[in-house]
A and B are shown apart, each in its own frame.
Chain A
Amino acid sequence: QSVLTQPTSVSAAPGQMVTISCSGSSSNIGSNFVSWYQQLPGTAPKLLINDNNRRLSGIPDRFSASKSGTSATLGISGLQTGDEADYFCGTQDSSLSSYVFGTGTKVTVL
Chain B
Amino acid sequence: QVQLQESGPGLVKPSETLSLSCTVSGGSLRSYSWSWIRQPPGKGLELIGYIDDSGSTNYSPSLKSRVTMSVDTSKNQFSLKLASVTAADTAVYYCARRDYLFDSSGPPRSVWFDQWGQGTLLTVSS
* Residues of chain B whose beta carbon lies under 8 Å from any beta carbon of chain A: 44-47, 58, 60-61, 94, 101, 107-114, 116-119
* Residues of chain A whose beta carbon lies under 8 Å from any beta carbon of chain B: 2, 31-33, 35, 37, 43-47, 50-51, 56, 88, 90-92, 94, 96-104
- Whether B119 and A92, one on each chain, are in contact in the complex, defined by CB atoms closer than 8 angstroms, is no
Residues of A with C-beta under 8 A to B110:
32-33, 50-51, 92
- Whether B45 and A56, one on each chain, are in contact in the complex, defined by CB atoms closer than 8 angstroms, is no
Residues of A with C-beta under 8 A to B111:
32-33, 35, 91-92, 99
Q: How far is the CA of A2 from the CA of B60 in the complex (A)?
A: 13
B120 to chain A, nearest CB (A): 10
- Whether A98 and B60, one on each chain, are in contact in the complex, defined by CB atoms closer than 8 angstroms, is yes
- Whether A46 and B44, one on each chain, are in contact in the complex, defined by CB atoms closer than 8 angstroms, is no
- Whether B46 and A101, one on each chain, are in contact in the complex, defined by CB atoms closer than 8 angstroms, is yes
B44 CB contact (under 8 Å) in A47, A50, A88, A96: A88
- Whether A43 and B118, one on each chain, are in contact in the complex, defined by CB atoms closer than 8 angstroms, is yes
- Whether A31 and B109, one on each chain, are in contact in the complex, defined by CB atoms closer than 8 angstroms, is yes
Contact of A92 with B108 at beta-carbon distance under 8 Å, contacts A44-B119, A45-B94 already known = yes
Q: How far is the CA of A43 from the CA of B94 in the complex (A)?
A: 11
Q: How far is the CA of A94 from the CA of B118 in the complex (A)?
A: 29
Contact of A44 with B112 at beta-carbon distance under 8 Å, contacts A88-B45, A99-B47 already known = no
* Chain A: CB-nearest residue to B114: A47
